[in-house]
Amino acid sequence: MIKKMKINAKGYQVLLLTLAVFITGCQSTDNQKQPMTNDDTVTIDTPLGSVTGLKEEGLQIFLGLPYAQPPVDELRWMPPKPLNEKYEDLRATEYPDRAYGTPYLDALAGRDIPGDFNEDCLYLNIYTPAADKSRRPVMFWIHGGAFIQGSANEYSGSAIARENDVVVVAVNYRLGPLGFLDMSSFGDEYEGSGSLGLQDQISALCWVKDNIAAYGGDPGNVTIFGESAGGASVLALLAAPSAEGLFHKAIASSPGEISGTPTNNIPVLESLFDAEGEELLSILRQTSAADLVDLQVSGLISTGGAIDGKILPVLPSRAILANKDKGVPLLIGNNKEEGTFLVDAIPPESYDIMTYIYGISIADGDPSEYIAALNDLVPEGSPRDRMIRVWYDYFRASGLRAAQNSTIAGVGGWNYSFEVPGNTPFGTTHGSDLAFVFNALNHQGDMIFPTWHEASDDNKELARKWSATLAHFARTGNPNGSGFPEWPQYSPDSRKTLVIDIESEVVEDLDGPGILSLYNMD
């Protein structure tokens, strides 16, 4: 039995820090999508057997395809295992269950997300113009949510697939204490357990390599893309040796760079359950998934992406340089006002510790110079205003560093700043670009996640153009050619950023040498 414990201030801080780092940026709306009930179906033959999906005009949709064995019972906290049997007339017409996760903040709650929480969660959804013999570019979507919440079920690839002749794959992966709890102290077989969610993503990419041709996709042209924690996952996969060769381009929206080593939660668990060693392991195996997630919700344990030495051995930005021509082209950027929404997820008393923690990432080392400069960066601002600036710099610095290193490595890196004004007090905040990524403003019925922007004619045209640009990059490895100004690679000699707005432009040195010095990029 779990001993009753009070949540101390440190535990609460850790929870809030985790929640705030990679939360998905959404706002409640009435434009929600229900699970599909289309009676028109299509049945195809695949290497794993017969699969029946949904058929719409110009689109075929296959929901809830298992890509690995259920990570339950003896497979809890184990690496994903390949499927051990073929499908038997699989009916892929309903959204799958999704990984256990923590509740959304109030501003994100109230959405009717299909799929129950289930430890059996290793499924993916496919949106394809046709499951034929064509070899279309594949866009592999990794959802955000701080590595503790979110699901593939909240995103539809319908518009991108139909309008750009690409195949979109959206993946569910383990979250929180089931996906990122470091269990390595229990034995060698648990090495890498702090990165199981990343291993799930890699397993899904292996499934794509072996099976996507049956769905009209090209296994030799796969682009990984994601936002927030999904963007951080994209950068992590660039640095993961076991992911090498499984994808060929990368797009990261508002990513933080995974850094630091896994949190050691075992002493806390030993105290909570009054047990150690094999006894504790046995208790943890018998504890329900919901109760394990509750430990994270309460702030008693903290999990998230980390440099674990096995799956993710080094900082992604350094891996990009080291990989050189073995790397892939990278398109990466952030939003103009990332922190305006995130700042309200944390108490003011946490601002100083957050500034220090994120300052390490921003400065790529010692944060003292950056912290000292904050008052000058926000001269008239309150502590809250300075914290908003920290959030912006956190996402901006990781994106610039990754783009520049990709260009230096010879594979190409392009940087953008998304600055389209939103219609909420948060402005162009974290996650506000998602409706443009998926062209949801033109197809609002497709999306479960809502939008921060109104569906004006200008915004709808920009959403169409931006989603088309991402698909063009997936096809060619170059973002140019879809209606934006000529967009050069970001390099130390040509620090050019595409500013995305109703009137977009390429800006030289958007950040200025003083800021780049604080980012340790001068």
Query: Which range, of 42-56, 60-74, 278-292, 334-348, averages the lowest pLDDT?
Result: 334-348
- pLDDT for the residue numbered 292: 96
Q: What is the pLDDT of residue 260?
A: 84
Residue 512 C-alpha from the chain's centroid: 28
Considering only residues 33 and 180, tell me which one the structure prediction assigns the higher pLDDT: 180
pLDDT exceeds 90 at position 107: no
Instruction: Say if CB 343 and CB 358 are below 8 A apart.
Output: no
Structural tokens at position 451: 């939008």
> Vertex 61, ends 57 and 63: CA angle to 5°?
155
Give the model's confidence band at 36: pLDDT under 50 very low, under 70 low, under 90 confident, else very high: very low
DSSP secondary structure of 81-94: PPPSS--SSEE--S
Domain of residue 167, residue span: 9-518
Whether 38 has a pLDDT exceeding 60, the answer reads no
Q: Is the pLDDT of residue 308 over 80?
A: yes
The band of 18, judged by pLDDT with boundaries at 50, 70 and 90, is very low
Q: Give the domain CATH number at 202.
A: 3.40.50.1820
161: left (phi over 0), alpha (psi -120 to 50) or beta: alpha
What are the tens digits of pLDDT across the range 440-477? Answer: 988 876 666 667 788 899 999 999 999 999 999 999 99
- Average pLDDT on 498-512 reads 95
The answer to whether position 300 is within a domain reads: yes
User: Could you tell me how far CA 152 lies from the centroid of its own chain?
Assistant: 10
Is 101 part of a structural domain of the chain? yes
Looking at beta carbons, which pairs linking 185-188 to residues 24 or more positions away fall under 8 Å?
185/264, 185/266, 186/277, 186/281
Catalytic residue among 257, 302, 338, 432: 338
Q: What are the structure tokens assigned to 412, written together?
A: 């190409």
Proportion of the chain above pLDDT 90, given as a percent: 77
From residue 68, alpha-carbon distances to 208, 310, 468 in Å are: 12, 21, 31
Region of residue 505 (phi > 0: left; psi between -120 and 50: alpha; otherwise: beta): beta
Is the pLDDT score of 338 beyond 90?
yes
* pLDDT tens-digit series, residues 391-438: 999 999 999 999 999 999 999 999 999 999 988 888 899 999 999 999
Work out how many domains the chain is built from and give that number. 1
In a domain, 2, yes or no: no
Where residue 242 falls among pLDDT bands split at 50, 70, 90?
A: very high
Choosing from 163, 184, 302, 430, which is the catalytic residue? Answer: 430
Q: Examine the residue annotation and report whether 228 is marked as an active-site residue of this protein.
A: yes
Identify the pLDDT of residue 210.
97
In angstroms, rounded to a whole number, what is the distance separating the alpha carbons of residues 319 and 329?
Answer: 14
In a domain, 1, yes or no: no
**pLDDT at residue 22 greater than cutoff 60:** no
Q: Which residue carries 């434009």 as its tokens?
A: 31
What's the chain's average pLDDT? 89
Active-site residue (options: 184, 228, 432, 504): 228
pLDDT for 39: 64
416 found inside a domain: yes
Q: What is the pLDDT of residue 17?
A: 39
pLDDT of residue 104: 67
Instruction: Indicate the pLDDT class of residue 298, thresholds 50, 70 and 90.
Output: confident
Per-residue pLDDT at 32 exceeds 60 = no
Is the CB of residue 250 less than 8 Å from the CB of residue 224?
Answer: yes
First-residue to last-residue Cα distance in the chain:
55
Would you call 491 a catalytic residue per the annotation? no
What pairs with residue 496 in β-bridges?
508
What pLDDT does 6 receive?
34
Residue 337 is among the residues annotated as catalytic for this protein: no
